[in-house]
């Protein structure tokens, strides 16, 4: 039944994408658990060091993905200078005598007209320019109060202006339908036609433009556009005057701007020579026309805009760091990997109990599932406490005390993990579940400053691991008194001795654990963005069962089954009962 739930959640259209996600979860998390058990078997006290290295590597990978080079702020005058220079450069690529047709489009009338006027003043110094406003092609017989900029006579606009100034046109044109603009004129060869107005990229006229500029108070996009490179992908651009409300984030607040329902800005990624300029409360920005130097890029590195406010991560960051630390620290208290796995499979129980405290109510079948899971966790815990091979006859009481301290640590970690799950549900209900990469990055990156308070412990654990690595390497050859081994394991000479290679090999489980942790947690976060918490919990229980099998059969060598299999089965069955009820 559990497999049926998973398959129903997956759906065939996204089968391959789901295969990749489940591959990350099962492959990454199972190998991560295996590597973690190998590391802690060699150095049980390295919990803080392991957590620090895991968080550091994931933070670095996330930082690389979330850094962006911010645009260079410019004055409005410099923006006009650069756009004019770009248009003149594109004009040189056109056939000799060709009349270049440039559209200045945008939603904000005053800003668009002001920009077009400034552009006209710069272009006319280098070439003859014909400046036209689309509003001049409105029907002059309509009363002025009935005029609307979205209702020009496009047929007359094409017949009287655009067609004559096309490559095969007569070059005789008029600039409007009123008496002031209806006097015919003849354009010079190599002139520039500069048209400003709204809806210049509707289906009827967008193919006329050699270069298009979209401008308003938020965005300015200049795009090289010719009839040959216009495509059907632009078919959603139309001349409809319908309105709707769209939100823009500006200066940390949200403003509401009326825009045309069917109007879309030109897509710069599909353009041949795009220039992107943005005007915001912090200034005017333009993409560099020439690639900036490496040092310039470094000075302008910024984090990408967040979909979720950073204050909403605070509680989750603390809970996530404490949970990770406690889970790794528990290895120092004689808690074997199977108990780790079973305890973390009880997360559904904790979520239910916490949900009950905040007003949620559950059915008898769900309560039965809690009893199964709780029984499995308790029996596995006591079974492991009696069968733990680390317990010596001389210090049974001390060993039991350490073990149950570790169990208490895991219990606290489980409670904190449940609280974090509730905090995540509350946040995702407000902002949506599609921000798994942002969650992965900020949960680790914002935790890094807290490791300052553990610096001494992390350093001492690294020293202990290095000492153990040297002891491990000494078994392969006698130390050479004339050479010193490096303090850092990866700084080996080209002519490395077997002892030095063994020294490096000692760190492979730690390196494997860190890299597989990145794969594992990426898969889990990706999973939470696709399905509800029930399906996530079910998949993770199956994954933990696989990890448990690897731990019992391979690492611990308890292939006889016994209690190592009996009580974990109670946990899986309990989760299965709950999953069946929710389905």
| CATH for 147 | 3.40.50.300
What would the pLDDT profile of 522-543 be if each residue is shown by its tens digit?
888 888 777 766 567 667 767 7
- In this structure, the answer to whether residues 328 and 216 fall within a common structural domain is no
Whole-number Å distance between alpha carbons of 162 and 159: 6
Based on the fold, state whether residues 240 and 377 are members of the same structural domain.
no
Collapsing DSSP states into helix, strand and coil, what is residue 243? strand
Backbone angles phi, psi at 551, to 5 degrees: -65, -45
Q: How far is CA 236 from the centre of its chain?
A: 28
Q: How many CB atoms lie within 10 A of CB 203?
A: 13
Measured from the Cβ of residue 468, the count of other Cβ atoms closer than 10 Å reads 14
Same domain, 391 and 419: yes
* Cβ contact 276:70 at 8 Å: no
Q: Is 488 a domain residue? A: no
User: Is residue 489 one of the residues assigned to a domain?
Assistant: no
Residues of the chain with pLDDT under 70: 1-15, 71-74, 141-150, 215-294, 296, 344-348, 360, 362, 366, 369-370, 373-396, 473, 475-504, 532-535, 537-538, 541, 545, 549, 551-583
Distance in angstroms (rounded) separating the CA atoms of residues 498 and 502: 6
In terms of domains, do 55 and 170 share one? Answer: no
Residues 6+ apart with CB under 8 A from 224: 90, 210, 211, 212, 271, 272, 273, 274
The whole-angstrom separation of Cα 387 and Cα 338 is 12
- Does the residue 491 lie in any domain? no
Which helix (H) or strand (E) segment is 112 a member of?
helix 109-123
HSE of 259 in the Cβ direction (CA atoms, 13 Å)?
18
3-state secondary structure of 303: strand
Q: DSSP string of 451-519? A: GGGGHHHHHHHHHHHHHHHHHHHHTTSPPPTT----SSTT---TT--HHHHHHHHTTHHHHHHHHHHHH
Residue 213 three-state SS: strand
Residues 221 and 132 in one domain: yes
Hey, which residues does 105 pair with through a beta bridge? 197, 214
CA 163, CA 171: separation in Å to the nearest integer? 8
3-state SS assignment for residue 99: coil
d(C-alpha 91, C-alpha 208), whole Å: 15
Provide the pairing of β-strand 192-197 with 129-133. parallel
Q: Is the whole model's pTM more than 0.75, yes or no?
A: no
Under 8 Å between Cβ of 218 and 264: no
Residue at 485 is within a domain: no
Q: Out of 267, 299, 331, pick the residue that ends a domain.
A: 299
Q: Tell me, yes or no, whether 494 lies in a domain.
A: no
Assigned domain for 16 exists:
yes
Confirm whether 483 is domain-assigned: no
CA distance 380 to 555: 17
Strand ranges of the sheet holding 275-280, from the earlier edge strand across to the other edge: 72-74, 283-286, 275-280, 219-224, 211-215, 100-105, 192-197, 129-133
- Maximum distance among all alpha carbons in the chain? 110
How far is it, in rounded angstroms, from Cα 327 to Cα 342? Answer: 12
Q: Is the same domain home to 246 and 369?
A: no
Domain count of the chain? 2
CA-wise closest residue to 530 among 2, 1, 13: 13
State the burial class of residue 266 (Cβ atoms within 10 Å of its Cβ: 0-12, 13-18, 19+): buried
Domain end point (choices 256, 271, 299): 299
Which residues, 6 or more positions from 259, have their beta carbon under 8 angstroms from its beta carbon?
Answer: 107, 243, 244, 246
Q: What's the confidence (pLDDT) of residue 253?
A: 29
160 and 36 housed in the same domain: no
Q: Report d(CA 286, CA 312) in Å as an integer.
A: 32
Residues 514 and 415 occupy one common structural domain: yes
CB 440 within 8 A of CB 522: yes
**Which H helix or E strand runs over 15?**
helix 15-23
Q: What does the pLDDT read at residue 235?
A: 35
Residues 273 and 167 reside in one and the same domain? yes
Side-chain half-sphere CA neighbours of 399 within 13 A: 15
- Residues 254, 130 share a domain: yes
Q: Are 216 and 108 in contact (CB under 8 A)?
A: yes
Domain carrying residue 62 = 2-68+308-478+499-582
- The residues near 428 (Cβ < 8 Å, ≥ 6 apart) are none
On whether both 269 and 150 belong to a single domain, the answer is: yes
Spatial separation of the C-alpha atoms in residues 260 and 92, rounded to whole Å: 34
Helix axes 15-23, 508-528, angle to 10 degrees: 140
Give yes or no: residues 97 and 138 share one domain.
yes
Mutual angle of helices 337-345 and 364-387, in 10-degree steps: 170
Looking at 299, 316, 334, which one is the last position of a domain? 299
CA dist., res. 307 & res. 305, Å (int): 7
In a domain, residue 257? The reply is yes
Which 3 state secondary structure label does DSSP give 25? helix
């Amino acid at each position: 039944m559990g497999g049926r739930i998973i398959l129903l959640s997956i759906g065939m259209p996204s089968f391959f994408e789901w295969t990749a996600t489940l591959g990350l979860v099962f492959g990454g998390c199972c190998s991560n658990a295996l590597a973690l058990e190998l590391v802690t078997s060699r150095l049980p006290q390295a919990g803080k060091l392991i957590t620090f290295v895991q968080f550091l590597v994931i933070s670095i990978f996330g930082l690389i993905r979330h850094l962006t080079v911010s645009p260079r702020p410019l004055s409005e005058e410099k923006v006009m200078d650069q756009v004019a220079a770009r248009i003149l450069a594109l004009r040189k690529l056109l056939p000799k005598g060709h009349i270049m047709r440039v559209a200045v489009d945008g939603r904000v009338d005053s800003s668009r007209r002001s920009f077009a006027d400034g552009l006209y003043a710069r272009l006319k110094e280098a070439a003859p320019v014909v400046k036209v406003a689309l509003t001049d092609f409105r029907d002059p017989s309509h009363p002025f109060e009935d005029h609307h900029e979205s209702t020009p006579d496009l047929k007359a606009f094409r017949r009287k202006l655009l067609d004559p100034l096309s490559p095969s046109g007569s070059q005789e044109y008029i600039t409007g339908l009123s008496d002031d603009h209806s006097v015919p004129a003849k354009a010079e060869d190599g002139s520039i036609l500069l048209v400003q107005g709204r809806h210049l990229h509707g289906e009827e006229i967008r193919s006329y433009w050699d270069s298009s500029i979209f401008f308003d108070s938020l965005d300015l996009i200049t795009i090289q556009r010719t009839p040959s490179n216009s495509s059907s992908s632009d078919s959603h651009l139309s001349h409809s005057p319908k309105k709707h409300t769209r939100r823009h984030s500006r200066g940390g607040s949200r403003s509401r701007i009326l825009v045309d329902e069917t109007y879309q800005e030109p897509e710069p990624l599909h353009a041949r020579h795009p220039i992107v300029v943005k005007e915001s409360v912090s200034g005017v920005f333009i993409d560099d026309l020439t690639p900036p130097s490496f040092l310039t890029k470094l000075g302008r590195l910024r984090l990408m805009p967040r979909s979720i406010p950073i204050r909403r991560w605070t509680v989750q960051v603390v809970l996530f760091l404490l949970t990770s630390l406690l889970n790794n620290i528990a290895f120092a208290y004689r808690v074997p990997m199977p108990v780790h796995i079973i305890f973390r499979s009880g997360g559904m129980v904790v979520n239910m109990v916490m949900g009950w405290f905040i007003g949620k109510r559950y059915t008898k079948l769900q309560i039965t599932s809690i009893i199964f899971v709780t029984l499995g966790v308790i029996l596995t815990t006591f079974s492991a406490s009696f069968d733990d091979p680390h317990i010596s006859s001389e210090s049974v009481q001390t060993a039991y005390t350490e073990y149950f301290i570790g169990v208490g640590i895991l219990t606290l970690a489980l409670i904190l993990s449940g609280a974090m799950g509730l905090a995540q549900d509350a946040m995702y209900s407000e902002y949506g579940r599609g921000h798994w990469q942002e969650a992965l990055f900020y949960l680790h990156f914002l935790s890094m400053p807290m490791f300052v308070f553990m610096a001494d412990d992390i350093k001492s654990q690294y020293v202990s691991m290095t000492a153990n690595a040297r002891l491990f390497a000494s078994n392969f050859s006698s130390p050479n008194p004339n050479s010193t081994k490096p303090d850092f394991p990866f700084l080996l000479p080209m002519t490395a001795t077997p002892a030095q290679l063994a020294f490096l090999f000692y760190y492979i489980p730690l390196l494997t654990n860190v890299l597989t942790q990145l794969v594992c947690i990426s898969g889990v976060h990706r999973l939470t963005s696709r399905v509800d918490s029930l399906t996530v919990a079910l998949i993770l229980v199956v994954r933990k069962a696989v990890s448990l099998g690897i731990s019992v059969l391979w690492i611990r060598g308890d292939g006889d089954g016994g209690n190592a299999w009996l009580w974990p089965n109670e946990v899986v069955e309990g989760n299965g009962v709950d999953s069946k009820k929710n389905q």
